[in-house]
Chains A and B, each alone.
Chain A
């Protein structure tokens, strides 16, 4: 059994990134993710890495573009309003086919919003977020331990497909302390022949660029990128199934909402309701397959989200609206209670007929 330490979610992300070979961090302070920067500020100088507090979120993401261009692992972190500022750079990263990790410890919005947890950046994260046709590889941890494993995994996937990755957490997970084991992290070795490392006059120049004024060329770049996205959609979805074997009702929840849902499911099971959960771990690619399969087995779904109903659209698409979908949600920094989720499970159990 690995030694466990008690860590805050935000610190676990930072330590996992270092263990995953990230030696460059650029960020700008914002609650509730500042512990990531504070941890990096302490650790990076001790291990020969670079921590830099940038003059703005925009500067930070552009510094990430610089390091990513040289083929090295780099990350930035922020919270919702800060991520909006970074979106321009994130779009450029996608357009330049650069791997990097962007951490969003979400807080309530829109606008300046609040500083309490939220999942209301789901659309922004899963639809690219900035301008242009692109996706990020998006992972959504539900525990401090997963913040470790998914941070490392996101770096590997980002490099494998040359796409920016986002770790989408929320204020609760960022601030929560749990026992965690920081080991078993593998650093995959992916091709970096595209990186700007100096030619030494021995090879042709590499160019990192997202600009093309030739429509046919730009179209080709998009088509090539979408081939990689197809592969990601086929090979990289991750999810967890909980008590789904005999389920009549399927809860769909990610991140902190899945933790609340687990309690509600136990309570419902105690009342004799056969309910389970599919927890998306990757939000893009969305785990469509298990949801479509579940749609043929269960009579209804309940999504649990800290937003006004964003992931529910992906559940509708994935299940092709075969079954009714209820929602238990809170917004603005509030979290649904297990009782609220249980009430929706009870309602959902009355709906539809099993096949």
Chain B
């Protein structure tokens, strides 16, 4: 769509199952081509819409509907770190992982998302913001407990930060 009408803003809002599993090839190659689009990637370590199955980003030992004994890395492997993986490519312009677990991080997330869209306006190419977030319903936790679980388990495995910023490097920032 972006190629059909470059004057329009094109973004996707994708979950971990979509982006990090069934659509990984498309994600990698649109990044490699540095398509001038913005991707908001919500990583909550579970398939939410289908009701709580194991996601490519589910953590080792995490109990889900399809990993009832906990994710066993010996049989189903390890969770995928998308920002780290894409940062190995020449193509993409901007990759950042943020979280929405406290006011400070929410503010940082907002800033990152704004920049991801600004990049598109300026024709800088592929920007992806990974938003580490909770899914209290399918994690079977209260929102408060879910936040704690995110901080104790997800953030150590998915460190926040900028993984790539082509233009910051060029601008010497």
Contact indicator A55/B3 (Cβ below 8 Å): no
Contact indicator A72/B7 (Cβ below 8 Å): no
Per a CB cutoff under 8 Å, which of A56, A62, A67, A69 touches B3? A67
Nearest A residue (CB) for B25: A55
Give A55 to B4 CA distance when docked, in angstroms. Answer: 18
Nearest A residue (CB) for B29: A55
Interface digits, A44-74 against B, CB 8 Å rule (1 contact, 0 not)?
0000001010111011001100110110101
Give A52 to B26 CA distance when docked, in angstroms. Answer: 13
Question: How far in angstroms is the closest Cβ of chain A from B56?
Answer: 18
Q: How large is the interface on A (under 10, 10 to 19, 20 to 34, 35 or more residues)?
A: 10 to 19
Contact indicator A59/B25 (Cβ below 8 Å): yes
Give A72 to B5 CA distance when docked, in angstroms. Answer: 10
Contact indicator A70/B1 (Cβ below 8 Å): yes
Per a CB cutoff under 8 Å, which of B4, B25, B26 touches A24? B4
Contact indicator B4/A67 (Cβ below 8 Å): yes
Contact indicator B29/A198 (Cβ below 8 Å): no
Give A56 to B26 CA distance when docked, in angstroms. Answer: 8
> With a CB–CB cut-off of 8 A, which chain A residues contact B8?
198
Contact indicator B26/A70 (Cβ below 8 Å): no
Contact indicator A66/B25 (Cβ below 8 Å): no
Give A69 to B1 CA distance when docked, in angstroms. Answer: 7
CB-contacts of B71-111 with A (<8 A):
none
Give A59 to B30 CA distance when docked, in angstroms. Answer: 10
> With a CB–CB cut-off of 8 A, which chain B residues contact A74?
4
> With a CB–CB cut-off of 8 A, which chain A residues contact B25?
55-56, 58-59
Give A52 to B33 CA distance when docked, in angstroms. Answer: 10
Q: Which residues of A contact B (CB under 8 A)?
A: 24, 50, 52, 54-56, 58-59, 62-63, 66-67, 69-70, 72, 74, 196-198
Known: A196-B1, A198-B8. 17 other contacts (CB 8 A): A24-B3, A50-B4, A52-B3, A55-B29, A56-B25, A59-B25, A59-B26, A62-B26, A63-B3, A66-B3, A67-B1, A67-B3, A70-B1, A70-B5, A74-B4, A198-B5, A198-B7
